Structure 1
Amino acid sequence: MNKQIVDYIQTNREAMLTDWIEEIREQADERIIRVASDQVFIGTSREFIDLIVSNITDSNEEFIAKLSDFAEKVVRLGWPLTFVTKGLQTFGKIVFEGMQEAGLITRDNQMDIVYDFDKWLTPMTNEIVSMYSTTWERTVSLQKIALQELSAPLIPVFEKITVMPLVGTIDTERAKQIMENLLSGVVKHRSEVVLIDITGVPVVDTMVAHHIIQAADAVRLVGAKCMLVGIRPEIAQTIVNLGIELNQFTTKNTLKKGIEAALEITNRKIVNVEGAE
């Protein structure tokens, strides 16, 4: 790499960091700035500049290791790829303009400097994009797995009674997860009654009802009874208007009533004990 560029960056590193932070704050979406404290933003910005400089001073292996760590951090912070690449372009601009002001770039060497800048920044940009994309895809994949595990939990509330609270929309992929969790959970907890709580499901249409009916049928095949609870008035009206048949279900409007009914099915009930506080 051009020695003039290297010497200029190393000599003016702190001043360029200050200029870079000022410019990037003006360009950045306010939401990016708000996700972290001012101290974290400045610290991460310093790490970014250090990363860029390390591409000059470190071996390629050392640079890739630092880049991997930095990519993990900015993905967690929610910095979009466009923000990161724009930051790299901004740093390159600050270096170039600073060298011009210092008289290091002249008519005679300008084309050579521009060529050296391109040889330095373009491969680094490609490395950053590749590493960021890989890190982002891995993070999203792990989050997706975690969400799937949490999206349809089967919770034992009493002996032989389990509850599956559903929250959010139900698509085909999530319905498959619900089915798997139900069947494995019923066997694991030796459930006799399973309550599917749809209090947190915003819309129950024909497709959602079909998935729930399939789940209930599967539960019956493994020897348990399925109960649908949390049916709000507007959901009940929608079910009637769509002509959806839920005759095979015991239905209750609240989870509390559902648990009381489940206890009766398993020959138990909740009683008040005199003198209990």
Structure 2
Amino acid sequence: MRTHQQLLVGLLEREKSALVDSWVLAASGPQAPEKARTEAAEILTALLPAVASGDLQNSGSAAWQPAKAALERLSASRAAQGSTAGSTSAFVLALKQPIFEALQRELATDSHALVEAIAQVTRYVDALAQWTMDAYQRTREQLISRQQEELLELSTPVIKLWEGVLAVPMIGTLDSSRTQLVMESLLQRIVETESALAIIDITGVPTVDTLVAQHLLKTVTAIRLMGADCIICGIRPQIAQTIVHLGIDLQSVTTKATLADALALALKRNGYTFTKTK
């Protein structure tokens, strides 16, 4: 007499193609993309070793690794496409319907065995859906973290304004991680270009508090330790008043109102003079 496990393995192997078609139809409708069929077939193939092992309690066993890997690829693909965690999990849960229907045809005369087989399939597919949610969450967090890093890099470009003069136009709120990124990028560019002067433009920084001022001072100190000098520009009247009220000492730092003024000073320090032609 076949066990439920043997019955299910035989069913998945024998009717794999039909199960994939029914699964995709139940999950995505008749206009399902070919990619969904490929994903469904991959997951169903990877599920076979896990079902054959009968080891539902030990999800960390080697038999479950192919299924987990397939679910991670599914989650990564769906997350990159903008699908939600709910819709991704729903796709996996839709596998129940075609398997239930196949079991009903197989065990039509044995209601007790049918109930037990359906319960077993439910446990398997629910476990798959849970792992899908976990994998999607991890993938989404990694994607968001990577996008944040890319945005930070884009929001703090190091620009070569003139021979020996670099500039960093800063936009948005400054925090420890962003200031660290600015410092690393700027110091690296100073080494690469052998620049003697760096301009930090904070025109786009909405507010300056004690923490932001400390970050700026640390950046200036690091630049000086590299043998270069620094000018901070873009200090608006409101920010200047805030700095005074907070008692922040920027007397050791050269400051200018605008980027144009800072560039003029930088060129003057480098020995350049300009005259206006008529």
Compute the TM-score of the two structures, normalised by the length of structure 2: 0.71
Question: In the alignment, which of 42, 52, 55 is matched to residue 43 of structure 2?
Answer: 52
8 Å Cα contact 2:104/2:114 also seen in 1: no
Equivalence for 2:27: 20
2:78 counterpart of 1:74: yes
Q: Is the 8 A contact 1:260 1:269 kept in 2?
A: no
The residue number in structure 2 matching 1:164 is 168
Q: Which amino acid aligns with 1:91?
A: L
Closer/same/farther in 2, CA of residues 55 and 124 from structure 1, 3 Å limit: farther
Question: Residues 184 and 56 (structure 1 numbering): CA distance in 2 closer, same or farther, change over 3 Å?
Answer: closer
CA shift in 2, pair 1:271/1:9, >3 Å: farther
Listed as ranges, the gaps of 5+ residues in structure 1 are 23-38
Q: What pairs up with 1:79-94 in 2 under 5 angstroms?
A: 79-92=83-96, 94=97
Matched with 2:216 is 212
For the residues of structure 1 that align with 2:33 and 2:203, how far apart are their CA atoms? Answer: 44
Q: Would the alpha carbon gap of residues 218 and 57 (structure 1) be closer, same or farther in structure 2, given more than 3 Å must change?
A: closer
Residues 97 and 251 of structure 1: CA distance in aligned 2, closer, same or farther (over 3 Å): same
Which of 78, 94, 98 is residue 95 of structure 1 equivalent to? Answer: 98
* TM superposition shift of 1:102: 6.6
Instruction: Pick one of 4, 11, 27 that aligns with 2:18.
Output: 11
Pairing 1:174–2:178 present: yes
Q: What RMSD, in angstroms, separates the aligned Cα atoms of the two structures?
A: 3.8
Q: 1:102 to 1:203 in 2, by over 3 A?
A: farther
> How far apart, in 2, do the equivalents of 1:212 and 1:220 lie?
12
Instruction: Name stretches of at least 5 consecutive residues in structure 2 with no aligned partner.
Output: 51-62
Matched, 1:241 2:245: yes
Specify the code of the residue in structure 1 equivalent to 2:163. E
In the other structure, the counterpart of 1:32 is none
Cα separation, 2, equivalents of 1:15 and 1:271: 79
Q: How many residues align?
A: 257
- Following superposition, the deviation at residue 236 of structure 1 comes to 2.9
Percent of aligned pairs with the same amino acid: 27
String of CA shifts for 1:201-248, please: whole Å, max 9, x gaps. Answer: 232111001110122123233332211122234333332333323222
Question: 1:86, CA displacement in angstroms?
Answer: 3.0
User: Following TM superposition, by how much is the alpha carbon of 1:263 offset from its aligned partner in structure 2, in angstroms?
Assistant: 1.0
C-alpha distance in structure 2 between counterparts of 1:184 and 1:7, whole Å = 61
How far 1:148 moved relative to its partner? 5.8
- The Cα of 1:162 is off from its aligned counterpart by 0.7
CA distance in 1, matches of 2:102, 2:242: 69
Question: What's the offset of the Cα at 1:77?
Answer: 1.8
Q: Alignment partner for residue 258 of structure 2, among 250, 254, 259?
A: 254
Rounded Cα–Cα distance in structure 1 between residues aligned with 2:69 and 2:130: 15
1:223 aligns with 2:230: no
Aligned to 1:185: 189
SS in 2 for 1:182: helix
Change (3 A) 1:234 1:18: farther
| Offset at residue 117 of structure 1 (A) | 0.5
Gap change, CA 1:268 and 1:169, over 3 Å in 2: same
The AA in structure 2 aligned to 1:55 is A
Amino acid at match of 2:45: S
Change (3 A) 1:16 1:181: closer
Letter in structure 2 aligned against 1:169:
T
